[in-house]
Amino acid sequence: MIEFLTNYWFVGLMVIGFAGYVIYLITKHRWTKLREIAYKMIVQAEQVITGTKKGQERFNAVLTQLYNVIPLWLRIFIPKNLLEKKLQQWYELIKDSLDDGEINHSTAHSESTDIDNL
């Protein structure tokens, strides 16, 4: 077995690289899907949880629902605090888009990146 590994180490390295690339594509695709689901959940939370001073309650409800959508095996790569940061960025992008119809960081508290980087 050791002889096989020493003779064909390059093949093993390529298999590991390919598996890493597949995992990257899966997580990249999941971020896109999660962002789409999050947008829908944000709108739903705005409609269901009404009243002033309820922003944090809405945010937590969306975060919990969104985290439960993620498959268990993918939660290893996406901890809840990372999802919380992404959700905040997505919310700021929505808010920025609503103020003048463009994502141009024109809102006062916008610190998010371009939508292509998400």
Say yes or no to pLDDT of 110 above 60.
no
Q: Give the start-end residues of each E strand in 13-73.
A: none
Mean pLDDT computed over every residue of the chain: 75
Residue 72 has pLDDT above 80, yes or no: yes
CB atoms within 10 A of CB 110: 15
CB–CB of 39/94 below 8 Å?
yes
Give the pLDDT confidence score for residue 73 in this predicted structure.
78
DSSP state letter for 71: -
CB 62 within 8 A of CB 42: yes
Nearest to 93 by CA among 13, 38, 33, 19: 38
Q: Rounded to two decimals, what is the model's pTM?
A: 0.55
- pLDDT range class, residue 113, cuts 50, 70, 90: very low
